[in-house]
Amino acid sequence: MEYDVVIVGAGPAGLSAAIRLKQLDADLNVVVLEKGSEVGAHILSGAVLDPCGLDKLIPDWKTKGAPLNVPVKEDNFYMLGEAGKVRIPNFPMPPLMNNHGNYIVSMGNVCRWMAEQAEALGVEIFPGMACSELVYGDNGEVKGVVAGVFGLEADGSIGDGTEPGMELHGKYVFLSEGVRGSLAKEVIEKYDLAAGHEPQKFGLGMKEIWEIDPAKHKEGSVTHTMGWPLGSNAGGGSFIYHLENNQVYVGFVVHLNYKNPHLFPYMEFQRFKHHPMVAELLEGGKRVAYGARAISEGGYQSMPKMVAPGVALLGCSVGMVNVPRIKGNHNAMLSGMAAAEAAHAAIAEGRASDELSAYETEVRQGDIGQDLKKVRNVKPMWSKWGLLPSLALGGLDMWTNTLGFSLFGTLKHGKTDAKATEEASKHKVIDYPKPDGKLSFDRLTNVSFSMTNHQESQPCHLKLKDPSIPIQVNLPKYAEPAQRYCPAGVYEVVEKDGQPEFVINFQNCVHCKTCDIKDPEQNINWTTPQGGDGPNYPNM
């Protein structure tokens, strides 16, 4: 099938691009391919949304019923100790940290609404269509994707029930797969787009939705914490957002550049909920949903080149999260619009399958670049100097950047998150308390609240480059950290005939991509499973 623009991923970036293309020219043929069972099924974000992207894309979003219903009413920042907390006052914080005018939202529901707006303009949206391959032209350009392969045998071969995929070709292909997308990873490697840029850095974000006692609910309240339980083991922190209907988003982020392979990010999240401040809020309530995903944290200096012949990377495929603000959805929307405007101009000039350099220029020099440049040193400061020094120096740097200069220039990130992992012998095993089933839960129970499902007869989508490495290298050297860094219990080391065996329970996978990022030997390659499989998030 031939289109003007083929868009992979119905997140905020991809949908913004589709909408903007049809706003510019109603006759353009635009298709959006989404691997989730429906739009929003694979969307997980905090989220406090800065509406600047939506304001620009659909200025009358309020009258059109966009699900931005809970404006932020109060901002709280706390440093936690094991049994207490210290409030960090708002007044010394740079203006960019202010949440006034922002909204607590379900980005899944925002994307569902955006999809309705796109379809009303004539965009074709196909959910349940995983894009498993790129299609290249005779000159090495990206000219399309293969989508909708179903029914492969467990070994990857074609069987009686196999439905071959369809090739969708476009003058331009937009990859808006989210963090660490499999096709974007291929494009970055093939065209060496990361050359001259810092390595991308990541965090693992885990989130639960809770229904709490109405007497404790404060609609519009936003709380962020740092410190306990992570301490010096890892960077990260939490968020607690009160949305409507007596619901609260409780989230926890662990930076994936931690050194100790014994660290168990999921159990750090579960332990966090036993802090007196959090436990008091959640007691008497019930958890109604769970999910996890990686977050791009490298920022300004880690954004690779965003264009290659025929293809552009959008949103989190590039990495546009403002780390101290914990916000990236607004930049994802702005990137989709910028890519759409560049493609529209190119097609109007009769061009196709070349590099949309105007898109890259707009991202780096426009609103997105300005947003990320101001905070570019916060993440490397945290990684190099720890929490308290980075709070002071990062705050100073954000203030001076607001005035147009930095005392630190642009700091580097250094190692990848995989290489940051040190040998297990250098670190102590961490003793985690057993989940109580009331505030804290085991992984498999929580995964059931993500409504994750994969057809078990399909090939495993988590590919090992060398099947011997987990037991022969990772187990003796790193105590096989895949058992712990995965927030869904996909990876296990079990004993079989007196010998350890590495087991991949791919049915549990919530598509967070942490394994693709954190495996110290970079031996795990995350690929798309059959379309429609994976989590089915309701209001994430």
Within 150-227, residue ranges assigned H as helices are 182-190
Work out the mean pLDDT of the chain and round it to a whole number.
96
Token pair 């109060």 in the structure block, residue: 74
pLDDT value of position 131: 98
Instruction: Determine the length of the chain.
Output: 540
CA distance 130 to 223: 36
Lowest mean pLDDT among 389-403, 433-447, 469-483: 389-403
What Cα–Cα distance (Å) separates residue 333 from each residue in 17, 337, 344, 376? 8, 6, 17, 20
**Does 531 have pLDDT greater than 90?**
yes
pLDDT value of position 139: 96
3-state secondary structure of 281: helix
pLDDT tens track for 503-515: 999 999 999 999 9
pLDDT value of position 391: 84
**Does 400 have pLDDT greater than 90?**
yes
pLDDT value of position 378: 93
Q: What percent of the chain has pLDDT over 90?
A: 93
In this structure, what DSSP letter does residue 36 have? S
User: What phi and psi values does residue 481 have, to the nearest 5 degrees?
Assistant: -70, -15
pLDDT tens track for 251-301: 999 999 999 999 999 999 999 999 999 999 999 999 999 999 999 999 999
pLDDT value of position 293: 98
User: What phi and psi values does residue 381 have, to the nearest 5 degrees?
Assistant: -60, -45
pLDDT tier for residue 388 given thresholds of 50, 70 and 90: confident
CA distance 530 to 161: 13
Residue 195's contacts (CB-CB under 8 Å, 6 or more residues apart) are 305
pLDDT value of position 94: 87
Q: What percent of the chain has pLDDT over 70?
A: 100
Residue in 406, 423, 398, 421 with CA at minimum distance from that of residue 479: 423
**Does 461 have pLDDT greater than 90?**
yes
Residue type, 105: V
CA distance 446 to 229: 20
pLDDT value of position 50: 98
The predicted model gives 18-38 an average pLDDT of: 98
**Does 194 have pLDDT greater than 90?**
yes
Judge residue 211's burial from the number of C-beta atoms within 10 Å of its C-beta, 0-12 exposed, 13-18 middle, 19 or more buried. middle
**Does 457 have pLDDT greater than 90?**
yes
User: What phi and psi values does residue 211 have, to the nearest 5 degrees?
Assistant: -100, 125
Q: What is the CA radius of gyration of the chain?
A: 22
pLDDT tens track for 423-455: 999 999 999 999 999 999 999 999 999 999 999
286 touches 175 (CB < 8 A): no
The CATH number for 2-64+107-197+304-374, chosen from 3.40.190.10, 3.20.20.30, 3.50.50.60, 1.10.8.60, is 3.50.50.60
290 touches 284 (CB < 8 A): no
Tokens linked to 351: 């061009």
pLDDT tier for residue 216 given thresholds of 50, 70 and 90: very high
pLDDT value of position 47: 95
Sequence spans of domains, the chain: 2-64+107-197+304-374
CA distance 406 to 409: 5
pLDDT value of position 90: 87
Tokens linked to 247: 């619901």
**Does 65 have pLDDT greater than 90?**
yes
pLDDT tens track for 71-97: 999 999 999 999 899 999 988 888 888
3-state secondary structure of 253: strand
105 touches 12 (CB < 8 A): no
CA 283, chain centre distance (Å):
29
pLDDT tier for residue 403 given thresholds of 50, 70 and 90: confident
Lowest mean pLDDT among 102-116, 375-389, 517-531: 375-389
537 touches 447 (CB < 8 A): no
CA distance 396 to 133: 45
The predicted model gives 34-42 an average pLDDT of: 98
Lowest mean pLDDT among 63-72, 163-172, 379-388, 485-494: 379-388
CA distance 375 to 373: 5
Give the alpha-carbon dihedral of 475, 227, 249, 114, to 10 degrees.
Answer: -80
Neighbours of 166 (CB within 10 A): 15
CA distance 256 to 202: 6
Residue type, 433: P
**Does 335 have pLDDT greater than 90?**
yes
